[in-house]
Structure 1
Amino acid sequence: MDKKTWYKWHSFAGIKLSILICFILITGTLAVISHEIDWLANPSKRVLPAVDSSQVNWSAVYKQARQRQGTYTIQSIHSPINNWFAVEVITQNEQGIRHREYYHPITGQYQGDGRWYNWQRFFRMAHRHLMMPTIYGTSIVCVMGLLMFVSLVSGFFMFPKWWKNFFRKPRTQNRKVFWNDCHRLFGLWSSWLLLVVCITGIWYLAELWGLDADFPAQQDQILTAQQAPVMPSQVVFDKALERVKDYHDMQIKAIIMPSKRWNTLIFQGQNDTLLVRDRANNVIFNPLNGDYVSRRFAQQQSLHVRISEAADPLHFGTFYGISSKVVYFIFGCVLSALAVTGTYMYGLKLVRQHRDVPVQSKQVWRLSWQGMHYGRWLSILLIVICLILTVIIFTNTVIL
């Protein structure tokens, strides 16, 4: 195909639903640092001065959480995101509403609480499935990933010898040339991130429609006389905790309490295996006596499972802590700007005025808006639905 044909593909993929694409890029960028946004919004999450988050006193935290339990059920305990974060305990009341409690990682002291639906949940849910049922919302978002992938590929074919333009300063002789150079520069420097999020987004779509990887069967149920899940006593909890530390090469990241789904005590975490979620590694114990039941480690899993587990760390940049998240956030902002500059450039092209004639911004945006055709209304409709569902979901949750 010639350059003109590639431009048509580039414009079709990037312009028609540019409003929705920009919304998904912005929410995804903010989702990368959503835990840090909650840290700023909720003082209970903060640990200042910072402590070594790898040295969590799980026993003290569990003891304090059990003392505060009351009518609530402890669902899980999660290690701090970084050294200045508190340990997070997820609880559930009799109505099935989840809640967050925060404890100091070393002393186990209770610091405060927070709602289940916080900023992190908003940005992740809005980015992942637009607050819609997962099967529909995730499919829509992943299709946007396909469009962005088409835009990425066509962009490289539009500009011969693109590799020579990484350090080319934008020209300033007129507005169209300037924004064209800026758009090209933004695209080049953020292309690696766009490629990563597009590929992982396409993978999410494939998983959603039947390619989901399953871990090998693992014993996570035990026979008990009680029908309801049994919370481990402090002695049993400490016994299982010591066995994880002494016999299993794994840094604990989360502890999943017995529930209706599984009535065992599950420790999840990380070892030397790269690019896996915490759930990929676990050690399971009997909550009645602390006896070892089973375990699994990521390095022993199939290639299919490893690819599936690598999707989240690569998509959200969590694989190297705050350092990789900052890099993802910066280039995510560049990607968001790329969507805006591309839309503006499309309008500039439609203006078709002489270079020396001043261009009115309102006219440019009006032509860009018209060029989106029915895509603009579809984008706005989906965003409005997302915001309405946000209000319904977040306000119907009882504030504990």
Structure 2
Amino acid sequence: MNKKTWYKWHSFAGIKLSILICFILITGTLAVISHEIDWLANPSKRVLPAVDSSQVNWSAVYKEARQRQSKYTIQSIHSPIDNWFAVEVITQNEQGMRHREYYHPITGQYQGDGRWYNWQRFFRMSHRHLMMPTIYGTSIVGIMGVIMFFSLVSGFFMFPKWWKNFFRKPRTQNRKVFWNDCHRLFGLWSSWLLLMVCVTGVWYLAELWGLDADFSEQQDQIITTQKKPIIPSQAVFNKALERVRDYHDMQIKAILMPSNRWSTLIFQGQNDTLLVRDRANNVIFNPLNGDYLSRRFAQEQSLHVRISEAADPLHFGTFYGISSKIVYFIFGCILSALAVSGTYMYGLKLVRQHRDVPIQRAKVWYLSWQGMHYGRWLSIFLITLCFILTVIVFTNIVIL
């Protein structure tokens, strides 16, 4: 195909659902720093001055959390996201409603609480599946990933020797040329991130439809006569904690309490294995006596599992803490601007008037709006549905 044909396909892929694509890019960009947004919004999450998040006093946190539990059951305990974050304890009441509590990572002192549906949940859920049931929402977002991937590839075919344009200053002789050069420059510098999120996004779609990886089976159930999940005593918790520290090379990131899904005490975390979620490494104990039951480490898993576990760190940029998240956020903003500039350029291409006559911005956006055809209404419908479902879910009318 020639350059003109590639441009037609590039425009078709980018313009028809540009509103929805832009929404997904913006929510994804904000999802990268969503924990930090919650840190700003909720003083209970803050630990100032900052402390070393790797030195969490899990025993003190668990003791304080157990003493506070009367109406709530502890579901899990999570280490600080960074050194200035508190430990987060997830609890659940008899109606199944989840809640967050925050504790100082060193002293274990209770600092305050927060709702389960916070900013992090909003940006994550709206980006991942538009607040819809996962099977539908994730499929739609995954298809958008395929479209953006095609737009990325076609963009490179449109510009021969594109690698020479990384440091080319945008020309300013007229608005069309300027926006075209800016769009090209934005696209080149953010292409690595677009490739990353598209590939991992398509991988999520593939996992949803049958290519998900399974860990090897572990002993996560024990025989007990109790109908309710067993809450480990302080002594049992401390015994298991010491076993993890003394015999297993793993930095604890989360502790999962016995539940209806598993009846054991599970410690999850990180070791020297790169690009894996916390769940890839775990050590499991009997909640009745603290005896060791089983463990798994990421480096011992199959290639399929390793690829699956690398998807989240690569998609959201969490693999190097706040540093990598800042890089992802900056280039995510550029990608979002790229979607806007591409839409504006499409309208500029459709303007038919003498070059000496000033171009009216309203006319450009109107032509872009018309060029979206039915895609504009589909985009607006899905985004509106996302916000309606947000109101329904976040007001606890339903539980997801």
- What's the counterpart of residue 382 of structure 1? 382
The aligned counterpart of 1:64 is 64
Unaligned runs of 5+ in 1: none
Deviation at 1:354, TM superposition (A): 3.1
- What's 1:92 paired with? 92
Partner of 1:367 in structure 2? 367
Partners of 1:354 and 1:102 lie apart in 2 by: 63
- The alignment partner of 1:305 has SS state of helix
Secondary structure of 2:51's match?
coil
The answer to whether the Cα contact below 8 Å between 1:97 and 1:397 also exists between their aligned partners in 2 is no
1:177 and 1:207 mapped to 2: Cα distance? 42
Equivalent residue letter for 2:156: F
SS in 2 for 1:396: coil
The Cα of 1:229 is off from its aligned counterpart by: 1.0
After TM superposition, the score normalised by the length of structure 2 is 0.99
Counterpart of 2:276 in 1: which secondary structure?
coil
Map of 2:182 onto structure 1: 182
**Counterpart of 1:280?**
280
Deviation at 1:224, TM superposition (A): 1.2
Partner in structure 2 of residue 327 of structure 1:
327
For 1:140, the equivalent position in structure 2 comes to: 140
Amino acid at match of 1:292: Y
Aligned to 1:83: 83
Equivalent position of 1:209 in the other structure? 209
The residue type paired with residue 32 of structure 1 is: V
Secondary structure, in 3 states, of the residue corresponding to 1:74?
A: strand
2:44 alignment counterpart: 44
Matched positions, count: 398
Aligned residue number for residue 304 of structure 2 = 304
User: In the alignment, residue 170 of structure 1 is paired with which amino acid?
Assistant: P
Partners of 2:179 and 2:189 in 1: how far apart?
15
Residues 33-86 of structure 1, C-alpha deviation per residue, up to 9 Å, x if partnerless? 000000000000000000000000000000000000112100000000000000
**Percent of aligned positions that are identical:** 89
Distance 1:33 1:304, change over 3 A: same
CA distance in 2 between partners of 1:354 and 1:313 (Å): 50
Determine the C-alpha separation between the residues in 2 that align with 1:140 and 1:239: 46
* Structure 2 residue matching 1:239: 3-state secondary structure: helix
Query: Where in structure 2 are there 5+ consecutive unaligned residues?
Result: none
Tell me if structure 2 keeps the 8 A contact 1:17–1:375.
yes
Amino acid at match of 2:132: M
Amino acid in the other structure paired with 1:236: V
Q: Do structure 1's residue 263 and structure 2's residue 263 form an aligned pair?
A: yes
- How far apart are the structure 2 equivalents of 1:217 and 1:4? 54
The equivalent residue for 2:106 is 106
- How far 1:352 moved relative to its partner? 2.7
Give the aligned partner of residue 238 of structure 1.
238
Cα distance in 1, alignment partners of residues 39 and 397 from structure 2: 21
Counterpart-to-counterpart distance in 2, 1:227 and 1:73: 14
Residue by residue, what CA displacement relative to the aligned partner does 1:336-358 show, whole Å, maximum 9, x if unpaired? 00000000000000003333221
Secondary structure, in 3 states, of the residue corresponding to 2:13? Answer: helix
- Paired AA for residue 219 in structure 2: Q
> Could you report, residue by residue, the CA deviation over 1:257-283 in whole angstroms, capped at 9, with x for unpaired residues?
000100100000000000000000000
- The CA distance in 1 between the partners of 2:396 and 2:302, in whole Å, is 41
The answer on whether the counterparts of 1:128 and 1:138 sit within 8 Å (CA) in structure 2 is yes
Q: Which residue of 2 aligns with 1:351?
A: 351
Partner-residue secondary structure (3-state), 1:252: strand
- For residues 225 and 175 of structure 1, the distance between their equivalents in structure 2, rounded to whole angstroms, comes to 75
Match of 2:166? 166
Structure 1 distance, partners of 2:43, 2:341, is: 37
Native 8 Å contact 1:72 1:92 kept in 2: yes
Answer yes or no: is 1:221 the counterpart of 2:212: no
- SS of the counterpart of 1:215? coil
CA contact (8 A) 1:16 1:371 kept: yes
SS in 2 for 1:91: strand
1:225 CA drift (Å): 2.1
Residue 194 of structure 1: SS of its match in structure 2? helix
Counterpart residue type for residue 52 of structure 2 = D
Paired amino acid for 2:25: L
Aligned-residue offset at 1:397: 5.7
- Corresponding letter in the other structure for 1:152: L
Q: Distance in 2 between matches of 1:24 and 1:126?
A: 8
Q: Distance in 2 between matches of 1:13 and 1:219?
A: 48
Q: Distance in 2 between matches of 1:198 and 1:260?
A: 35
Cα distance in 2 for residues equivalent to 1:354 and 1:197: 41
TM-score, scaled to structure 1: 0.99
State the distance in 1 between where 2:10 and 2:31 align: 27
Q: Which residue of 2 aligns with 1:393?
A: 393
Q: What amino acid does structure 2 have at the position aligned with 1:273?
A: T
C-alpha distance 316-33 of structure 1, shift in aligned 2 (>3 A): same
- The alpha-carbon deviation at position 172 of structure 1 amounts to 0.5
The 8 Å contact of residues 61 and 103 in structure 1, kept in 2 or not, is answered as yes
4+ residue runs of structure 1 moved beyond 6 angstroms? none
RMSD over aligned Cα, in angstroms? 0.8
Does 1:293 pair with 2:326? no
